[in-house]
Amino acid sequence: MTHIPVLKKEVLFYLDPKANENFVDCTFGEGGHSFAILEKNIPEGKILGIDRSPEMIKRVKKEEERLILRQGRFSNLEEIVKEANFGPVNGVLFDFGMSSWHIDESKKGFSFKNNGPLDMRYDSEEDITADEILNKMSCDKIKSILKDYGEERFAERIASRIVEERKINPIETTVDLVNIIRESTPGWYHHQRIHFATRTFQALRIAVNRELEEIKKGLEDSMDILEKGGRIVAISFHSLEDRIVKNFFRDNFKKGNLKILTKKPVIANFEEIKTNRRSRSAKLRAAIIN
């Protein structure tokens, strides 16, 4: 499947890359946004592409001397920029969406559509896996994860069923977990617009990778690395992410640190959603450093 970067035109509009300017793509993924920016900041503008997953960095095949790649987390953004001796930085991009490679090919249990081990780590060097959460944490802790990170209305039922099932057999695969969720929830819940396992899988992925904490730290670091007039563009895919970005921009606007460029989140138009279903839940917010 060809990679289609979400809201590409809008990213280019709000980042507004000009000749010889430098940008940091904090979620490089398959590089769609970065390569589009590199077409605009010629001849000497550069991109520092960062991805948490070493597999994504290794997958980059296009040779481009103006593209610098590093594996790392948002929480180390300032450190990565310094280590790469990269600057001045004129714009920072965050795309919090998960790469289709993780869903379709990583075999780490990110998707309930494919059977596989419940790993869910972007970087296999990380501490905890999804199956360790399911098989070792208390019922209350699992319930909190599903409720806080997945906004799952049946969190208590699902958590209780997980604890009961693991007494008989460990929960090891995506199919194991989907079956538990199905058995824990009422029949009408299985016929909603989104799949009944979506929120649980989202919650576990966020918990395993500490995604919300990473987003907060990445946004804070971006303020420290950007030049005056530099831009931040952030694309969120669910309400928890979008809320963090919205509040961060609002708080820094009140402090006089930045100007918000998007009064409301920018969403994909009908044509983009038709060609790229992943874009239907994307929300873009942008700001400029004072």
Task: Express each pLDDT in 146-191 by its tens digit.
Answer: 999 999 999 999 999 999 999 999 999 999 999 999 999 999 999 9
Query: What are the strands, taking DSSP E only, across 21-155?
Result: 23-25, 47-51, 67-71, 89-95
Q: Is 217 exposed, middle or buried (0-12, 13-18, 19+ CB in 10 A)?
A: middle
Percent of the chain having pLDDT more than 90?
77
pLDDT band at 61 (very low <50, low <70, confident <90, very high): low
Determine the pLDDT at residue 261: 98
Both tokens of 93, joined, read 């991009």
Q: What's the topology of domain 8-101+212-289?
A: Rossmann fold (3.40.50)
**Strand 226-236 versus strand 89-95 pairing type:** parallel
Both tokens of 26, joined, read 């904090």
Determine the pLDDT at residue 147: 97
Please indicate whether residue 100 or residue 116 has the higher confidence score (pLDDT).
116
What span, in angstroms and rounded, lies between the C-alpha atoms of 66 and 143?
46
Determine the pLDDT at residue 64: 78
Listed in order, the ranges of the chain carrying CATH 1.10.150.170 are 106-209
Architecture of domain 106-209 in this structure: Orthogonal Bundle (1.10)
Query: What are the strands, taking DSSP E only, across the chain?
Result: 23-25, 47-51, 67-71, 89-95, 226-236, 258-260, 283-289
Determine the pLDDT at residue 120: 93
Determine the pLDDT at residue 15: 97
- Residues with Cβ within 8 Å of residue 179, at least 6 apart in sequence: none
pLDDT band at 63 (very low <50, low <70, confident <90, very high): low
Above 90 in pLDDT, residue 246?
yes
Listed in order, the ranges of the chain carrying CATH 3.40.50.150 are 8-101+212-289
Above 70 in pLDDT, residue 104?
no
**Average pLDDT of span 201-214:** 95
Reference 114, options 183, 181, 178; nearest CA is 178
Determine the pLDDT at residue 3: 61
Above 50 in pLDDT, residue 1?
no
Is 272:7 a contact under the CB 8 Å cutoff? yes
Determine the pLDDT at residue 30: 84
What span, in angstroms and rounded, lies between the C-alpha atoms of 155 and 181?
10
